[in-house]
């Protein structure tokens, strides 16, 4: 790992020079169980990839809905089995493209979606009942879900068969990422309203993807990523229970989103520990009895923070090893980063190569032929137990502070992540941690690669479309729908059905988010 005498994982767990039988944890058979059975350490399904490979997703979305739609069709033609939508910053934080706050950002880091017309264009020619779609969206997640459902209804889809995920994880935004709008407590209410609405209308939809990914991208260690993610999960479950929801019903639709980082064996151990810990949390803390409410299902994305702008083709083996760790750790869904993403949004060629990386692992490597092939490894089992122990201690600290919301308000998450990020950066700058092409094996040669460029003119196009929408929509219907959203937000009625009615009345993302800002206020971090 380094040239120093100390050999340790990112979480500070000592790496033995040789793992021995004595390193195996006590009661190993009980810790492991059987695949598809409590505590799910070995995987959530009995035959795992022997029966069905993970969903191969590619995160896409840039500029206009039409451009993103073209990319989706290309990915589906290349063999992708699920779509994953990136939204631009204005969409993420609830501003329409013509808002002054949106200047310079429209379509830049994702697709610009302001209205039902944009959502129609985004999925033109794609039957939503026949694909699963993951949407990386948080503060405005219920609004974007409403737009997706509205388009599915127009297609004649059976909503009970609609499959996909909204990230909808606001707590990690306060701790690590920053695309929040409302204060934590009304945000939690918006999330639990979504749980309740989806349980009744879209039972196959994953209503939240509790995300450690961005916590890790901000600099957390593997153990911190695991602990803070599960602590956030505990907060969401408790909020849902406080809202009167049934743990076995909504618990079955929770999903998680983890980072696949560079330390190969630590990442495999993290994923295995996560399943065991969550199963025990759901059973012992919350009384969940349904196996689907106890099992931790997760999506993985390779680590964007590890991609280097220097010698970008070296990112290909980095991503390959990270993806292999996710597969050996038992992921249900995987996104592999394009090699050019340290420089720009991925080109179609880079995205296709990233997908091919998954396909080589899935169809050529042989690692899918047996379930949990690293089970029983002296080192992996020791590491799994030690990551579990380290994460458990951190969760106990969060509990002592009053839970995730209180810990975030207190700055506990933020301080721990900042300290870990600082230590990691010092190790890179000192050369103790080697980054190939960055602090060792450098070259003066510049790789000549095509980059995806997004034009600023997209904002003008989107603004013109918004003006036309506002002039053509039924003003009385719009007013009634928007007033109903405000009334529900001020009271205790579920807000989601009113948001759905509003988007069907051609209300925009910015208009709905703005009305909710008036009621709930805006978080000042």
**pLDDT reported for residue 345:** 79
Tell me the pLDDT tens digit for each residue of 343-357: 887 888 998 999 999
Structure confidence at residue 3 (pLDDT): 40
For 452-495, where are the alpha helices, taking DSSP H only? 457-472, 475-490
Query: What percent of the chain clears pLDDT 70, i.e. is strictly above it?
Result: 98
What pLDDT shows up at residue 219? Answer: 97
Give me the phi and psi of 287, to 5 degrees please: 75, 20
Task: Read off the DSSP letter of residue 1.
Answer: -
- Chain segment 56-75, per-residue pLDDT in tens: 987 666 678 998 899 889 88
Nearest to 138 by CA among 513, 406, 397, 399: 513
The C-alpha R_g of the chain, in whole angstroms, comes to 23
Q: Which residue has the tokens 């969206």?
A: 137
Question: How many Cα atoms within 13 Å fall on the side-chain side of residue 390?
Answer: 22
State residue 2's pLDDT score.
Answer: 39
Core vs surface per residue 505-514: b (16+ CB within 10 A) or e: bbbbbbbbbb
Give the closest residue to 55 by CA, choosing from 81, 37, 76, 28: 81
Report the residue count for the chain: 525
Other Cβ atoms within 10 Å of 495 Cβ, number: 28
Q: 210 - beta bridge partners?
A: 256
Ranges in the chain, pLDDT < 50: 1-5
- What is the rounded CA–CA span in Å between residue 121 and residue 219? 37
Q: How far apart are CA 125 and CA 210, in angstroms?
A: 30
Count CB neighbours of 395 within 10 A: 18
Q: How far is CA 237 from the centre of its chain?
A: 18
Token pair recorded at residue 503: 């988007």
* H-helix or E-strand spanning residue 420: helix 412-430
> Other CB atoms closer than 10 Å to residue 153's CB: what's the count?
14
- DSSP assignment of 79-133 equals T--EEEEEB-HHHHTT--TTSGGGTTTTTTSSB---SHHHHHHHTTT--GGGSEE
* Residue 40: per-residue pLDDT: 98
Q: Tell me what pLDDT residue 344 has.
A: 81
For residue 165, how far is the Cα from the chain centroid? 9
CB atoms within 10 A of CB 178: 13
* CA 348 to chain CA mean position, Å: 22
Tell me the C-alpha distance between 104 and 76, whole Å. Answer: 30
């Amino acid at each position: 790992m380094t040239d120093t005498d100390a050999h340790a994982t990112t979480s500070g767990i000592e790496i033995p020079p040789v793992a021995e039988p004595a390193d195996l944890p006590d009661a190993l058979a009980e810790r492991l169980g059987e695949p598809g059975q409590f505590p799910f350490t070995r995987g959530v399904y009995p035959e795992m990839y022997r029966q069905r490979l993970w969903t191969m997703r590619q995160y896409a979305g840039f500029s206009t809905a039409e451009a993103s739609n073209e990319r989706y069709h290309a990915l589906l033609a290349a063999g992708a089995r699920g779509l994953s939508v990136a939204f631009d910053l204005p969409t993420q934080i609830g501003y329409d493209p013509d808002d002054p706050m949106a200047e310079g950002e429209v379509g830049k880091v994702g697709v610009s979606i302001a209205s039902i017309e944009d959502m129609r264009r985004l999925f033109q020619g794609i039957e939503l009942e026949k694909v699963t779609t993951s949407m990386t969206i948080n503060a405005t997640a219920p609004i974007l879900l409403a737009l997706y459902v509205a388009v599915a209804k127009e297609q004649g889809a059976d909503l009970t068969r609609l499959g996909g995920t909204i990230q909808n994880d606001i707590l990690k935004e306060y701790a690590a990422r920053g695309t929040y709008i409302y204060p934590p407590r009304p945000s939690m209410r918006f999330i639990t309203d979504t749980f309740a609405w989806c349980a009744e209308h879209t039972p196959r939809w994953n209503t939240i993807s509790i995300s450690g990914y961005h916590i890790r991208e901000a600099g957390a260690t593997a153990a911190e990523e695991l602990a803070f993610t599960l602590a956030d999960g505990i907060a969401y479950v408790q909020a849902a229970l406080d809202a009167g929801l049934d743990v076995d019903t909504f618990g079955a639709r929770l999903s998680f989103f983890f980072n696949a980082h560079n330390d190969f064996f630590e990442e495999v151990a993290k994923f295995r520990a996560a399943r065991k810990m969550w199963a025990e949390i759901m059973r012992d803390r919350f009384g969940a009895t349904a196996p689907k409410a106890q099992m931790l299902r997760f999506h993985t994305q390779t680590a964007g923070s590890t991609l280097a702008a220097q010698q970008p083709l070296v990112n290909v083996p980095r991503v390959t090893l990270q993806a292999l760790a996710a597969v050996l750790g038992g992921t249900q869904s995987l996104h592999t980063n394009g090699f050019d993403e340290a420089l720009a949004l991925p080109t179609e060629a880079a995205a296709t190569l990233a997908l091919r990386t998954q396909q080589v692992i899935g169809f050529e490597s042989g690692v899918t032929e047996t379930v949990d092939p690293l089970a029983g490894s002296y080192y992996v089992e020791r590491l799994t137990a030690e990551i579990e122990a380290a994460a458990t201690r951190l969760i106990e600290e969060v509990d002592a502070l009053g839970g995730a919301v209180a810990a975030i308000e207190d700055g506990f998450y933020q301080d721990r992540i900042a300290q870990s990020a600082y230590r990691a950066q010092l190790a890179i700058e000192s050369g103790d941690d080697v980054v190939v092409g960055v602090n060792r094996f450098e070259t003066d040669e510049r790789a000549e690669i095509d980059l995806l460029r997004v034009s600023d003119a997209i904002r003008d196009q989107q603004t013109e479309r918004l003006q036309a929408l506002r002039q053509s929509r039924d003003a009385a219907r719009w007013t009634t729908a928007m007033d109903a959203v405000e009334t529900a937000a001020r009271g205790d009625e579920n807000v989601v059905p009113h948001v759905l009615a509003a988007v069907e009345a051609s209300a925009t993302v910015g208009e709905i988010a703005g009305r909710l800002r008036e009621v709930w206020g805006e978080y000042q971090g």
